[in-house]
């Protein structure tokens, strides 16, 4: 099938990456901590890719991406608990279902708010993000197991190198194919000029919804993988600051670039965690000073991203 034939390069590269990482992990060349953040960087890439579809390709500015990431995380943790899932194979359907729930939520919330443009949309997504955070904080009132502000504990650790490599590869290929299909073309048209898009017959409302729901689906998958990597969820992991992390990665990598998102995801996780290693414990909080400074510098010198060429 054309699907696999045209994805040869990606499959080979991922296989190479997998083998190298597997050797590093298996012979304990790296600490368990490094192992964990390596896997985490894959998760960040998946979720950021979702935001890149929404913002980078379709031009719909969202400040609520972490909410969908959180919805995927909580949904998957909940399903794992009630179905008693402990193994990777039974986890894959849960993964898909959690992604679908995040995507569906995105679709439903998208119907009213995607009519808004630019800054109004930003405020609406910000509002939704806050709403979800508040919901997580009080979630124990709906179901004790969700843990509310104490956090969701005791999630089985299922996410491993194989799972993230396979899922990331698969989703990157699907996303790439979507982007190069007519749907991706319509998304880019909408980003360029919504009025002109309508004048050539693009159902802009539908296409925006599709991009938004798909982007949220990717966030949900990322969240579900995250939940089963760290085995503990806390509402504060899914607040607006987290949304901004994804936004920074998309901007850092360059809007509308899949490769850019991949590089930026790795750089981002490496940077944050690297500072944790370099900085003495007493100054650890300074990380949150460096990051905004980095963002300001980026906007001044490379407004179109570090990786893509300037316009």
Comparison of 157 and 206: residue with beta carbon closer to other proteins: 206
Tell me if 208 sits within 8 A of 110, measured CB to CB: yes
CA distances from 97 to 64, 120, 126, 205 (A): 20, 31, 25, 25
Residue 201 DSSP symbol: T
**Shortest distance, position 256 Cβ to other proteins, whole Å:** 9
Of positions 88, 123, 174, 267, contacts other proteins by CB under 8 A: 174
Asked if 97 interacts with other proteins (CB under 8 A), we say no
In angstroms, the CA 58 to CA 81 distance is 36
Asked if 9 interacts with other proteins (CB under 8 A), we say no
Among the candidate windows 62-70, 145-153, 179-187, 261-269, which touches other proteins by CB under 8 A?
Answer: 179-187
Asked if 200 interacts with other proteins (CB under 8 A), we say yes
Asked if 27 interacts with other proteins (CB under 8 A), we say no
CA distances from 119 to 140, 248, 264 (A): 33, 17, 25
Of positions 186, 226, 230, 238, contacts other proteins by CB under 8 A: 186
Of positions 111, 196, 283, 289, contacts other proteins by CB under 8 A: 196
Tell me if 60 sits within 8 A of 121, measured CB to CB: yes
Among the candidate windows 29-37, 184-192, 243-251, 273-281, which touches other proteins by CB under 8 A?
Answer: 184-192
- Token pair of 95 as six digits: 């993964």
Return phi, psi of residue 296, to 5°: -60, -45
Residue 292: count other Cβ atoms within 10 Å of its Cβ: 11
- Any idea which residue has 């849960």 for tokens? 94
Comparison of 104 and 198: residue with beta carbon closer to other proteins: 198
Asked if 86 interacts with other proteins (CB under 8 A), we say no
Of positions 9, 28, 195, 285, contacts other proteins by CB under 8 A: 195
Asked if 31 interacts with other proteins (CB under 8 A), we say no
Q: What share of the chain is helix, strand, coil (3-state, %, to 5)?
A: 80, 0, 20
Of positions 102, 169, 202, 209, contacts other proteins by CB under 8 A: 202
- Any idea which residue has 């050797």 for tokens? 23
Hey, which residues between 256 and 275 contact other proteins (CB under 8 A)?
Answer: none
Produce one character per residue of 69-94: b if its CB has 16 or more CB atoms within 10 Å, e if not: bbbbbbbbbbbbbeeebeeeeebeeb
Of positions 115, 157, 182, 276, contacts other proteins by CB under 8 A: 182
Binding site for other proteins (CB under 8 A): 1-3, 6, 174, 177-178, 181-183, 185-186, 188-189, 192-193, 195-196, 198-204, 311
């Amino acid at each position: 099938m054309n699907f696999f034939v045209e994805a040869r390069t990606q499959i080979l590269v991922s296989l190479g990456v997998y083998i190298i990482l597997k050797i590093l992990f298996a012979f304990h060349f790296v600490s368990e901590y490094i192992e964990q953040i390596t896997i985490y960087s894959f998760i960040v890439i998946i979720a950021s890719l979702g935001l890149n579809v929404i913002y980078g390709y379709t031009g719909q500015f969202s400040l609520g991406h972490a909410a969908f990431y959180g919805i995927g995380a909580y949904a998957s943790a909940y399903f794992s608990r009630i179905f008693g899932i402990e193994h990777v194979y039974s986890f894959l359907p849960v993964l898909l279902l959690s992604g679908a729930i995040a995507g569906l939520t995105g679709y439903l919330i998208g119907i009213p708010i995607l009519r808004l443009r630019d800054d109004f949309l930003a405020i609406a997504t910000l509002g939704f993000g806050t709403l979800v955070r508040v919901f997580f904080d009080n979630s124990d009132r709906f179901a004790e197991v969700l843990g509310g502000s104490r956090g969701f504990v005791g999630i089985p650790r299922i996410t491993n190198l194989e799972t993230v490599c396979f899922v990331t590869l698969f989703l990157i290929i699907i996303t790439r194919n979507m982007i190069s299909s007519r749907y991706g073309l319509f998304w880019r048209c909408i980003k360029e000029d919504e009025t002109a898009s309508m004048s050539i017959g693009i159902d802009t409302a539908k296409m925006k919804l599709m991009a938004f729901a798909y982007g949220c689906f990717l966030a949900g998958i990322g969240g579900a993988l995250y939940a089963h990597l760290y085995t503990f969820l806390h509402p504060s992991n899914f607040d607006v600051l987290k949304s901004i992390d994804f936004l920074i990665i998309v901007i850092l990598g360059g809007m509308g670039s899949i490769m850019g998102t991949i590089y930026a995801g790795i750089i981002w996780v490496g940077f944050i965690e690297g500072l944790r290693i370099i900085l003495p414990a007493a100054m650890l909080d300074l990380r949150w000073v460096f990051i905004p400074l980095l963002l300001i510098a980026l906007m001044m010198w490379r407004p179109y991203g570090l990786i893509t060429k300037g316009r």
